[in-house]
Amino acid sequence: MAVKAIVITNSCVGCAFCKLVCPEGAIEVIGKAEIDMQNCADCRKCVRYCPVDAIKVVEG
Amino acid sequence: MRVAVIGSGLGGLLSASILSEKGFEVDVFEKLPFIGGRFTNIEYKGFQLSTGALHMIPHGSRGPLARLLKSVGANVEIVDSKPEGEALYNGERIEIRKKTFPLRSRLKFVKLCLKSKFREVRMSEFEKGLDDFSKRFLKAFLGWSLSITTKEASFSRILPMFNQVVKLGGPGIPVGGCKSVINALSEVLLSNGGKIHKARVKGIKPGKTFSVAAREVKKYDIVISNVGHVETAKLLNNQYVQNLEPSCGIKYSIALKEPFINHTGVLFTLETRRISGMNEVTNADPNLGRGHLLMAHQPVITSNVRYEIAQGLKDIRDILKGYDYEVLAVQCYSDGWPVNRVKAGQDIGFETPYRNLYVVGDGAKGDAIEVEGIALGVENMLKKLEVSI
C-alpha cells in the first residue's frame, strides 16, 4: 500500500513540534500546521512527535 | 508504596523524583518519543528552542522551583537576571524598580490591596487611576507572565502572585535551558530505581488500588497525573470536571546575528500591538544557540490566531528595525494541547474526587507564575501525601 497523504486534522494546536522535527523543512505553521507534500519524504517523524495526535497517515 | 505518574512534564518528573528519593516505587509513563513535555528543548537550525515554556524560571534561584530542585539534589545552574526587568517605553529603555512607578500609582496599589481583603477587586478598577507608564507596564506584565489581558484579570486573584514577585524578585535562566532541569530530575529518579516507560496510558480504574492500563495493566497505590484535569477525567471515564477555559499565548523564537537586549533580564515592550515582552537567553547561556536567541511572547486577544500572529510579527518588525534577524518558529497552542493548561485564576487545584489520585502541572498550580506555580502545586500535593521535603 502506498502512502496517499499525511494530513493535519482539526485537533492541531499549532505548537510547531512537527515543523521543528521535520528534516525536509516541508511544514509551515501559521496558527495551524500545513505540510507541503511535494517535499515530504514520508519519514513520519511529525506523526510520532505530535502531542495531540493531529497528524494522520491516509493510506491508499 | 507504588506510584504511577502519567506524563513526564515538569510537574510529573518533579513529583516522581521527590517520591523516588523518599523510597516510593515510581513508574513514569510518557507517550511522546521524548521526556519533558512543554518544558524541554528541541533543536532547530543550531538553536535550542523550547517545546513550550520559555527558558526561564520566574523567580530564579530564590523561587519555589529552585528550592525543590535543590532539596531533591537535582543539579541545575540558574543564572539570575540582571537587571531584573526593563521596559521599552517612548523608544527608551527604563529599568524596572519600585521607584520607576509614580508615587500616586504605588499608593493606589496599596489602597486596593487593603480593599481586596474585604471584596473581590477587578484589575480594571486598579487600571483606572494609573498613569500611562504603569498602565502599560501592568498590561505587558500580565501578558508576559500569565498570557492574560487586564480586562479578564482579577486583582484579588493575582495579588498573591504580585506579592511573590515583590518578595522573590525577577527571573533566572537555567543553563542548558529547560532540558537541563528535566535531565537533572530524571537522573535523580533513575538513580533511585524509578522507571520511565515510553507508553501511552489508556485508562485508570479506581478501587482499593488503582489499575493503570498502559502496555499492560498494573496496580498502584497512588496515581499522579501530569496531563491535566480534563484528560485525567477522560482516563477515569468520569466527567468530574468540564469546560476549563484554556489560556492562550504565542511564543516567537528569533535568531539574531547581533544581540538586541544585551543582558539577561526581561524587556517588557510597552508600546506594541501584542508582544508583551522578550528575553535573550543566549546572554545567560551562549550554548543555547549559534548566534543570539531572542524569545518573545504575547497573549491572544481575538479568536483569530492567524491575525494574532500577524500582529505579533508586525511588532517584532518594528522593535527589531535595523537588526538582522530570522523568526525561527512561532508556537501558539491554540486549543487542546497542552490539555492541562488553565487560565490563571481558574485553577481548580491538585485534588480529584479520588483519594490518592492527584493532578500536578499546569492545570493544578499554586499561587505563583508559570513553573513556580507548578512547583507550589507539587509541594501542596506532597503535603497532602504527608511527605516532608
Helix (H) or strand (E) holding B256: strand B249-256
Q: Do B309 and A49 touch (CB under 8 A)?
A: no
Confidence of residue B152 (pLDDT cuts 50, 70, 90): confident
pLDDT tens-digit map of B279-288 = 999 999 999 9
B206-211 average pLDDT score: 95
Q: Tell me, what CATH number does B358's domain have?
A: 3.50.50.60
A13-39 average pLDDT score: 93
B337-342 average pLDDT score: 52
Residue B317 lies in a domain: no
pLDDT tens-digit map of B212-223 = 999 999 999 999
Q: Would you identify the CATH topology of the domain A3-59?
A: Alpha-Beta Plaits (3.30.70)
Residue B273 lies in a domain: no
Domain that holds residue B216: 2-80+176-244+345-384
pLDDT tens-digit map of B55-85 = 999 999 999 999 999 999 999 999 999 999 9
Residue B294 lies in a domain: no
What's the pLDDT score for residue B333?
A: 80
Mean pLDDT of chain B: 93
Whether residue B251 is predicted with pLDDT greater than 90 in this model: the reply is yes
Confidence of residue B309 (pLDDT cuts 50, 70, 90): very high
Residues B155, B127: contact at Cβ < 8 Å?
Answer: no
Instruction: Tell me how many degrees the CA angle B236-B10-B331 measures, rounded to the nearest 5.
Output: 95
Q: Do A15 and B331 touch (CB under 8 A)?
A: yes
Whether residue A1 is predicted with pLDDT greater than 50 in this model: the reply is no
Q: Which stretches within A1-60 are classed as H helix?
A: 17-21, 45-49
Element counts in chain B: helices (H) and strands (E): 10, 19
Exposure string (b/e) for B324-351, b if CB count within 10 Å is 16 or more? ebebbbbbbbbbbbbbbbbbbbebeebe
pLDDT tens-digit map of B14-40 = 999 999 999 999 999 999 999 999 999
B139-151 average pLDDT score: 91
Q: Which residue of B has its CA nearest to A29?
A: B330
Residue B18 lies in a domain: yes
Q: Which residue of B has its CA nearest to A45?
A: B33
Who among B329, B335, B336 is closest to A16 (CB)?
A: B329
Q: Do A15 and B32 touch (CB under 8 A)?
A: no
Q: Which residue of A has its CA nearest to B305?
A: A31
B79 to A3, B183, B265: CA distances (angstroms): 48, 17, 10
What's the pLDDT score for residue B59?
A: 95
Whether residue B360 is predicted with pLDDT greater than 50 in this model: the reply is yes
pLDDT tens-digit map of A34-59 = 999 999 999 999 999 999 899 999 88
B219-243 average pLDDT score: 89
- Which residues from chain B sit within 8 angstroms of residue A51, using beta carbons? 32, 37, 337-338
Q: Which of B231, B314, B332, B341 has the most A C-beta neighbours within 10 Å, making it the best mutation to test the interface with A?
A: B332
Whether residue B343 is predicted with pLDDT greater than 80 in this model: the reply is no
Q: Which residue of A has its CA nearest to B46?
A: A20
| pLDDT: which is higher, B230 or B204 | B204
Helix (H) or strand (E) holding B18: helix B10-21
Dist. CA A31–CA B265, nearest whole Å: 29
**Chain pair A-B, CB pairs under 8 angstroms:** 57
B118-132 average pLDDT score: 93
- Which residues from chain B sit within 8 angstroms of residue A20, using beta carbons? 42-44, 49, 329
What's the pLDDT score for residue B68?
A: 97
Boundaries of every domain in chain A: 3-59
Phi-psi map region of B275: left, alpha, beta (phi>0 left; psi -120 to 50 alpha): beta
Whether residue B339 is predicted with pLDDT greater than 60 in this model: the reply is no
B101-125 average pLDDT score: 94
- Which residues from chain A sit within 8 angstroms of residue B198, using beta carbons? none
Residue B20 lies in a domain: yes
- What is the number of domains present in chain B? 1
Residue B63 lies in a domain: yes
- Which residues from chain A sit within 8 angstroms of residue B231, using beta carbons? none
Confidence of residue B348 (pLDDT cuts 50, 70, 90): confident
B119-126 average pLDDT score: 93
DSSP assignment letter at B363: G
**ipTM (interface predicted TM):** 0.91
Percent with pLDDT over 90 in chain B: 79
Phi, psi of B201 (to 5 degrees): -85, 125
What's the pLDDT score for residue B88?
A: 97
| pLDDT: which is higher, B164 or B216 | B216
Q: Do B305 and A31 touch (CB under 8 A)?
A: yes
Q: Do B332 and A19 touch (CB under 8 A)?
A: no
Q: Do A51 and B32 touch (CB under 8 A)?
A: yes
Whether residue B241 is predicted with pLDDT greater than 90 in this model: the reply is no
What's the pLDDT score for residue B218?
A: 98
What's the pLDDT score for residue B336?
A: 64
B340-349 average pLDDT score: 62
